Amino acid sequence: MELIPALIIVGASYAGYLLAWRRVRAGRGRRRGPDPAAVSAFDYDALEGELEGLAQMRPELRDRLIEALQRSRLADAAQPGPARVEAAHRALGALKRVQELALEAPGWSGLAAHLDVQRLSFWSLEEAELSARRRLRRALARHPEAPSLHLVRAHLEASLGNVEGAADQLARALYYAKGDPFYARPIVASPAMARLRPALDAQARAVLEGREPLN
């Protein structure tokens, strides 16, 4: 009669240990890999450039697109911690009204996933990660060569302490960006990249200095 309660207690304890250990590993990885703050940059210029095209498709949603854009900027500007998490939730609420339309444009298609990463916290780690990965899969299925989507994924991997995964996604973002300095800056701003991927770091520096990137 006492076996089942005992098994439940042991199982719950083990699950709690795994969740705690995952957070410890994430913290260690964040210290060794690309700087999560540096790779959190989102390409709002791309959103601005795509806004008119989306508004022409659905003129009645223009104001909602603008609201989602403004709230997302506010979330990025908020202080890390509860304030940013709350602001990201508000931005996601605004974006939800236009999410299907947002999927039509490469930059906009990754905004919800970006906001999910911005709301990652000790308590929401698994839920926010699953949501971000689901949104990224959907967006990448439509826009596989969008550099902004690979940068969002790099931010996700860096936040979770997945060092190699973050570096891989930064490389993809820079490759698809075709020389856009915006995508070179997070690489150069992450000191670990010179150690992890020296060739990629040199390529990013060449882009920022206006030189021919190294092959």
Q: pLDDT tens-digit profile of 63-86?
A: 999 999 999 999 999 999 899 999
Taken in order 128, 133, 134, 136, the sign of the CA dihedral is positive
Domains of the chain: 33-208 (1.25.40)
The Cα–Cα gap between 109 and 111 comes to 6
Taken in order 170, 173, 178, 180, the sign of the CA dihedral is negative
Is residue 158 classed as helix, strand or coil in its secondary structure? helix
Q: pLDDT tens-digit profile of 39-71?
A: 999 999 999 999 999 999 999 999 999 999 999
The Cα–Cα gap between 81 and 59 comes to 36
Q: pLDDT tens-digit profile of 170-199?
A: 999 999 999 999 999 999 999 999 999 999
